[in-house]
Structure 1
C-alpha cells in the first residue's frame, strides 16, 4: 500500500480504491449489466439493460452513494462494491422510487416483451412456488448491511474483490454495526472467498428450476452473514428468523 485516506487507498500494484462520484454512474451501470450472467453479459437472459441497471444499481448511486466504492487501475474503473446500511429504507425506496417508476418506461421501450423475459418470469414464479429460493431471512437488526460486488472479467483473480471487501468491512466496523450479509447464486454450495473473511453460511438450496432456465448445472442459492459481535464479550447470539 502506498497511501491511505478515508476517501482513497492507493496500492503498489496500480489499484486504487476510492469513493464513488456521480461521473462514475454510467460506467458502473454498464459493468453491472456486463457481468450479470455469471460474470458475462445480461443479454443471455434479459435484454433491457436500462431496466436491469435501474433495479440493481440505481438505489446505490442515487440514494446511498456514500457506501459505494470504486476500484480503478491506471484510471480505468475495473470494479465496485455497493452497500446498503439501512434495509428498511432501501426496501421502501426500491418499491416506490425505483421499481414502480421504472416499469412504465420499460414497457414503452418494448424490450421486455420477448421470449427471454417470458422465460425469466416463468422460472422465477416456478422457483417461488417450489420454495427453492426461500432462504433463512437473517434478522436485519443483527445484519443491517447488505452489499453487491462486481469486478471486470479481465481483472478477476488480482485481489481487487478482496481490497473492495476490506474497505466495506472496515466501514461497517467503524460505524459499530452488528453484522453484514449477502445472497449469491453459484455452481458450488459454498463461497470460500467470503468464509476467509469470517462470513458464515446460514442457508443454501439447490435451485433446479433455475438450472433449466440458465442451462447450468448445478446451481445453489445461498445466504451468508458476518457478525461483528465479540463472542467473548457478549452473550447475545446472532439470530436468524
Structure 2
C-alpha cells in the first residue's frame, strides 16, 4: 500500500516530485490506518499485486493518536536521509496551508482512495468505496469527509456518484511550487443514511 501511495500521491502521479522520502511518506499516509486508527480498509489486487486501496478512520481523535505514535516510532528507528530533508518543504507548506475540514462531530470519519493506473477505469474505485462506506455504516458512523482538489476531476466524479456533496472549497498555494499554479481544495462529505442533515462547519 505504501508503494501505491507513493506512486499516486501527486494527483495520480508519483509523490517523489515533492516528497522523495518514500519510507516517511508511507509511514505518514498509510501507517496510522494499519496501527490503531483504521476501519473499513480494503485493497484491490491483480495477479497477487496490490493495485489500489481505500484507507480510513472512523474517529478523528483515534487517527491523531495513531499518527503521533507512527511518526514517533519512525523517527526513533530511521536515520534521516537527503530525501528526508528534501521532503521537509512540503511538510512546512502543509502545516501553513492545511486542507479544510468539516465539524468532526458530524463527520468523524475520513478516507483516502488510491489506484495505480492499471486499476483506473475498471470500476475498482467504486467497489472499494462502496465496501468502505458499508463498513462505516455498520459501525454507526454518522458521516464521513474527505479532501481532494479540482486537479483530480475523476475522483470528484466518483465521490459525487457515491453520494458525497461539496461542503467547502478554497484556493490554496500549497501545491504551487510543484504544479506551477494554485489548486482548489475541495471538502466533500457524506452523511450516513437516516442521519439529519444539519449544517457542517468547515474550518
TM-score range, shorter chain: 0.7 to 0.9
Q: After the TM superposition, which residues 1-241 of structure 1 pair with which residues of structure 2 at under 5 Å, given as runs?
A: 28-64=1-37, 66-95=39-68, 97-105=69-77, 108-114=80-86, 117=87, 119-121=89-91, 123-124=93-94, 128=96, 133=98, 135=100, 137-187=101-151, 191-211=156-176, 213-217=177-181, 219-230=183-194, 237-240=198-201
The size of the alignment, in residue pairs, is: 201
Q: 1:108-144 CA deviation, whole Å, 9 max, x = no partner? A: 3342234xx354356446xx3xxx5462x31222112
SS of the residue 1:112 aligns to: helix
Q: Distance in 1 between matches of 2:166 and 2:188?
A: 4
Q: Distance in 1 between matches of 2:112 and 2:35?
A: 15
Q: Distance in 1 between matches of 2:15 and 2:9?
A: 5
Q: How far off its partner does 1:49 sit?
A: 0.6
Q: 1:175-207 CA deviation, whole Å, 9 max, x = no partner? A: 222111111133268922211111111111122
Q: Distance in 2 between matches of 1:223 and 1:113?
A: 30
Q: Distance in 1 between matches of 2:135 and 2:44?
A: 16
Give structure 1 stretches of 5+ with no counterpart: 1-27
- TM-score, normalisation: structure 1: 0.73
Give structure 2 stretches of 5+ with no counterpart: none
Q: Distance in 2 between matches of 1:172 and 1:123?
A: 31
Instruction: Tell whether the 8 Å contact from 1:178 to 1:228 is kept in structure 2 after alignment.
Output: yes
Q: How far off its partner does 1:65 sit?
A: 5.2
Residues 37 and 209 of structure 1: is their aligned pair in 2 closer, same or farther, counting only changes over 3 Å? closer
**Residue in 2 that maps onto 1:18:** none
Q: CA RMSD in A?
A: 2.5
Instruction: Tell whether the 8 Å contact from 2:107 to 2:142 is kept in structure 1 after alignment.
Output: yes
Instruction: Tell whether the 8 Å contact from 1:207 to 1:219 is kept in structure 2 after alignment.
Output: yes
The answer to which structure, 1 or 2, has the higher relative contact order (CA under 8 A, 6+ apart) is 2
Instruction: Tell whether the 8 Å contact from 1:146 to 1:181 is kept in structure 2 after alignment.
Output: yes
Q: How far off its partner does 1:100 sit?
A: 2.9
SS of the residue 1:82 aligns to: strand
Q: 1:67-92 CA deviation, whole Å, 9 max, x = no partner? A: 21011224332111011012111112
Residues 33 and 188 of structure 1: is their aligned pair in 2 closer, same or farther, counting only changes over 3 Å? closer
